[in-house]
Amino acid sequence: MKDSLKEKCLRLARARLYAIVDTGYVEPDRIEHVTGQLVLGGVDLIQLRAKKLSLSAITDLGKKIRALIPSSGPLFILNDHPHLVAEIGADGIHVGQDDLSVAEARAQAGDDVLVGKSTHSLEQAVAAERALLDRPEVSGANLLGDMINSQVHPKHVRRAGRQAAKELRRKRR
């Protein structure tokens, strides 16, 4: 049985370890193995990020990942393609700052899925939080983006840093 949005939100609130399986550093033919190891290792969320694959390859890979994740296992988040969420069976969608709005992502993905938005500054985080929390049953997680430079994102992307995380936490209180 699929979790309701409220149940997914509760699971998200309890999450402590979020794994991103990125085809930029994991070969597609190894993703099933890596996913299985992440599940065994006890991660709380697994996000599929496949920037350079075709939509059909992302769909196939997403279905394979979904099949590996038990119903009591990690939440499964798809990156960038909300229109594929239902077909793949993902629990949520994540979109970048320059991608779709939260409302557009939610409209394409469906009302019963989590929606995440990358942010790179305190201002973007506050705006995303307002957009994400426009429904009373959804309570709050917000992705503040990279804290430090990483191999996944270009160096020119502004990093939020620890101070922005502290400020966002202060604003929530």
Contacts with 111 (C-beta within 8 Å, 6 or more apart), sequence order: 5
What domains does the chain contain, in order, with CATH numbers?
A: 5-172 (3.20.20.70)
Contacts with 162 (C-beta within 8 Å, 6 or more apart), sequence order: 147
Element (H, E) at 46: strand 45-49
Question: What is the C-alpha separation between 45 and 24, in angstroms, rounded?
Answer: 19
Contacts with 4 (C-beta within 8 Å, 6 or more apart), sequence order: 112
**What per-residue confidence (pLDDT) applies to 120?**
64
**What per-residue confidence (pLDDT) applies to 165?**
55
**What per-residue confidence (pLDDT) applies to 65?**
97
pLDDT in tens, 108-154: 999 888 888 776 666 766 666 666 554 433 433 444 454 445 555 55
Share of the chain above pLDDT 70, in %: 68
Q: Which two tokens mark 45?
A: 């969320």
**What per-residue confidence (pLDDT) applies to 9?**
84
- What Å distances lie between residue 81 and 56, 75, 96, 113, 161, CA to CA? 11, 17, 11, 13, 27
Q: Helices (H) and strands (E) in the chain — how many of each?
A: 7, 5
Q: What strand order describes the sheet that includes 45-49? A: 18-22, 45-49, 75-79, 92-95, 114-117
pLDDT in tens, 36-86: 999 999 999 999 999 999 999 999 999 999 999 998 899 999 999 999 999
